[in-house]
Amino acid sequence: MNKSDSIEVVVLGSGTSAGVPMIGCHCRVCTSADPRDQRNRCSVVVGYGGKRVLIDTPPELRLAVIANGIDMVDAVVLTHGHADHIFGLDDVRRYNTLSGNGMPILASASTLSIIRQAFPYAIDQAAADPLVYRPQIMLQEITGTFELFGRVWTPIHLPHGNVQVLGFRVGDFAYCTDCSGIPAQERKKLASLDVLIIDGLRPTPHPTHLSFNQALEIIADLRPRRAYFTHLTHDLPHAEIEAQLPPHVRVLYDGMKFQVPL
Ligand SMILES: [Zn+2]
Ligand SMILES: [Zn+2]
Ligand SMILES: [Zn+2]
């Protein structure tokens, strides 16, 4: 396949908010020898047409982009303002330096409000100390579908307990992390997908995330060609989860790469 005819997805992180291994845990997953059981906090890079869009900036951003050779990204899209999705944002400084440009940061109004509170030194340019090496970020509110580098992105409105999260569809690829359901009107935006990445936290129910069975029910309804669970806990090893799943549903792992036809 010609690269210009596809989206390349690179998985930077696939773990829950505490990461796997968790601090101070010595369970069989946290001590597993399978590298797929070591999970950074969730993020993916979506590449097409020679450009790369980073979805979320988790705490391990620097380590993950170095490990995956992501020497440049051209825009950042944020799903929501929880710590496991935004606290690597400062690391876009290096991309600013390398490109000589500010970094577009696209997010909902509520997420942008959190960014303004969390990174005041990057926002308040008038008060900025020139001695502080700060990120140059250009905040853009997502109010509906938007275009990035010639492709339409469709926001998917997802409940995550009391928080509203944005999922995204571009082409036949969709990314829906951190959700406790997908409302009927939003499911209409997710028809005929080639690949769906969906929250699949753990085997047992959780108030703000989808369990394996809840995610499988949504996958059965939406019928993507392939689906992947993300935001996983340390409850089960990667190989044991995959053994329980139908063949077209797999589990994301850090460093995984795949193509989605455009
Ligand atoms: Zn999260
Ligand atoms: Zn553990
Ligand atoms: Zn969250």
pLDDT tens profile 112-147: 999 999 999 998 776 667 777 899 999 999 999 999
Which two structure tokens, joined as six digits, stand for 221?
Answer: 């309804």
Rounded to an integer, the average pLDDT of 5-16 is 97
Cβ-count burial 67-89 (b if 16+ within 10 Å, e if not): ebebeebbbbbbbbbbebbbbbb
Q: How far is the centre of ligand 2, averaged over its atoms, from the C-alpha of 49 (Å)?
A: 40
pLDDT at site 127: 67
Q: How far is the centre of ligand 2, averaged over its atoms, from the C-alpha of 96 (Å)?
A: 37
Query: What count of other Cβ atoms lies within 10 Å of the Cβ of residue 245?
Result: 18
3 half-sphere exposure, CB direction, 13 A CA radius: 8
Q: Are strands 51-55 and 249-251 parallel, antiparallel or unpaired?
A: unpaired
- Rounded to 5°, the CA angle 50-54-59 comes to 145
pLDDT at site 131: 76
Residues 6+ apart with CB under 8 A from 139: 105, 107, 112, 115, 116, 123
Number of the ligand closest to the Cα of 201: 1
Which two structure tokens, joined as six digits, stand for 73?
Answer: 């990204």
* Average pLDDT value for the chain: 96
Number of the ligand closest to the Cα of 84: 1
Top CATH class, 3-261: alpha beta
Ion ligand 2, residues whose Cβ is below 5 A away = 25, 27, 30, 234
Q: How far is the centre of ligand 3, averaged over its atoms, from the C-alpha of 159 (Å)?
A: 10
Chain Cα centroid distance, residue 3: 22
Number of the ligand closest to the Cα of 43: 1
Q: How far is the centre of ligand 2, averaged over its atoms, from the C-alpha of 176 (Å)?
A: 25
pLDDT at site 162: 94
Number of the ligand closest to the Cα of 25: 2
Q: How far is the centre of ligand 3, averaged over its atoms, from the C-alpha of 56 (Å)?
A: 11
pLDDT at site 124: 78
Number of the ligand closest to the Cα of 164: 3
Which two structure tokens, joined as six digits, stand for 240?
Answer: 């044991």
Q: How far is the centre of ligand 3, averaged over its atoms, from the C-alpha of 246 (Å)?
A: 27
Residue ranges of domains in the chain: 3-261
The contacts found for 200-205 with CB under 8 angstroms, 24 or more apart, are: 200/229, 200/230, 200/231, 200/232, 200/251, 201/16, 201/231, 201/232, 201/233, 202/16, 202/232, 202/233, 202/235, 202/236, 203/235, 203/236, 204/235
pTM above 0.85, yes or no: yes
Amino acid sitting at position 166? L
Q: How far is the centre of ligand 2, averaged over its atoms, from the C-alpha of 252 (Å)?
A: 18
* pLDDT tens sequence across 166-196: 999 999 999 999 999 999 999 999 999 999 9
d(CA 259, CA 257): 7
Q: How far is the centre of ligand 1, averaged over its atoms, from the C-alpha of 191 (Å)?
A: 24
Number of the ligand closest to the Cα of 160: 3
246 has pLDDT over 60 = yes
